[in-house]
């Protein structure tokens, strides 16, 4: 396979990192998942296809030393932690929801197509041969949903639509309207994060039903909604910023680029026309992407330039133009 011979170390984590590791394994890489000890811990990675597991205590110096030795012989290290951890070892009148075309068109289609291209380019360095990348949006989005398919037996999806853990059924995985008509997104699944959410809402967990009491979820959603409706989005941000409650503001396009987190990471860039767009991701440490800051080209703006570059003569270009095979388009001056 294309990635045959590539050695990958994947430090065990949640959904994104395991999916990445599974993709690499699916294309032939030898993926070792470095699991936490003790060995009695229940494996939660349902995207472990094609991987091998190494249980290692990274919190102890000898364990960290083992990892460093492994890294010396590995080609790729996938780590799912927060930045710096490893170095230490909507519809109208409804709550917002993710635009679905991001899933099929861009993620299932564009991103996986790019991954296929890069994979084929890498394989070409070994075989010297090219190949066709068949990137189907339907198959791509199905592949992205591997977690959904492979978690059917975990009890995450056995309730009716809209009543499950991750599809807005849970009160701690939902969006809530604030007093100023804006929204806060809540994703406090893990118990320690849920406790921070309860604390921020001014509630006492000892007086509430169990977090996973499904029958109490509708009542708890109403309670959470009534509390969030009592403060503005800015007030809730002042309460939850800097905590592990997994509560964040739902921002408009105008607000996203100016958000402090994005400003600190320079996550958005401006072109020569002051148009804002996301910086290319992921960020490579040595050879990062350098996006053009020029405006998008007009159709036919570089026709002659390109044909000359590829060896066409001016006479050939003129003939193509007179035969209406090609078109030129020069940008109009701003008067």
Q: So which residues are the catalytic ones?
A: 105
Report H helices in 97-136: 101, 112-127
Number of other CB atoms surrounding residue 176 within 10 Å:
21
Angle at the Cα of 251 from the Cα atoms of 198 and 183, rounded to 5 degrees: 45
202 exposure class (CB count in 10 Å sphere: 0-12, 13-18, 19+)? exposed
DSSP 164-192: STTTT-STTEEEEE-TTS-EEEEE--SHH
What is the sign, positive or negative, of the torsion defined by CA atoms of 15, 21, 24, 27?
negative
Q: Can you tell me the distance from the alpha carbon of 152 to that of 49, in angstroms, rounded to the nearest whole number?
A: 15
Q: Can you tell me the distance from the alpha carbon of 290 to that of 79, in angstroms, rounded to the nearest whole number?
A: 24
């Amino acid at each position: 396979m294309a990635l045959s011979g590539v050695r990958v170390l994947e430090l065990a984590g949640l959904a994104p990192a395991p999916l990445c590791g599974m993709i690499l394994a699916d294309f032939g890489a030898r993926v070792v998942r470095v699991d936490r000890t003790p060995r009695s811990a229940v494996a939660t990675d349902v995207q472990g296809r094609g991987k091998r597991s190494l249980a290692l205590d990274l919190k102890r110096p000898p364990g960290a030393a083992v990892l460093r030795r492994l890294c010396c012989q590995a080609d790729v290290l996938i780590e799912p932690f927060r930045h710096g951890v490893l170095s230490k070892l909507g519809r109208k009148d409804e709550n917002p929801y993710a635009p679905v075309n991001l899933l099929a068109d861009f993620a299932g289609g564009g991103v996986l197509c790019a991954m296929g291209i890069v994979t084929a380019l890498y394989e070409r360095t070994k075989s010297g041969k090219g190949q066709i990348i068949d990137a189907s949006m339907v198959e791509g989005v199905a592949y992205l949903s591997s977690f959904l398919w492979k978690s059917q037996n975990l009890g995450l999806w056995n309730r009716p639509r809209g009543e499950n853990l991750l599809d807005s059924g849970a009160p701690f995985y939902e969006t809530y309207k604030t007093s100023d008509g804006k929204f806060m997104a809540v994703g406090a699944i893990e118990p320690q994060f849920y406790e921070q959410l309860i604390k921020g809402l001014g509630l006492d967990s000892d007086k509430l039903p169990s977090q996973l009491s499904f029958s109490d979820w509708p009542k708890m959603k109403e309670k959470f909604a009534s509390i969030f409706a009592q403060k503005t989005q800015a007030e809730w941000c002042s309460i939850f910023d800097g905590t592990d409650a997994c509560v964040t503001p739902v921002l408009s396009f105008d607000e996203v680029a100016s958000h402090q987190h994005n400003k600190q990471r320079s996550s958005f860039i401006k072109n020569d026309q002051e148009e804002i767009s996301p910086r290319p991701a992921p960020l490579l440490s040595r050879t990062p992407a350098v996006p053009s800051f020029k405006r998008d080209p007009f159709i036919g703006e570089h026709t002659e330039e390109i044909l000359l570059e590829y060896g066409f003569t001016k006479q050939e270009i003129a003939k193509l133009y007179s035969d209406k095979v090609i078109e030129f388009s020069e940008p109009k001056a701003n008067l």
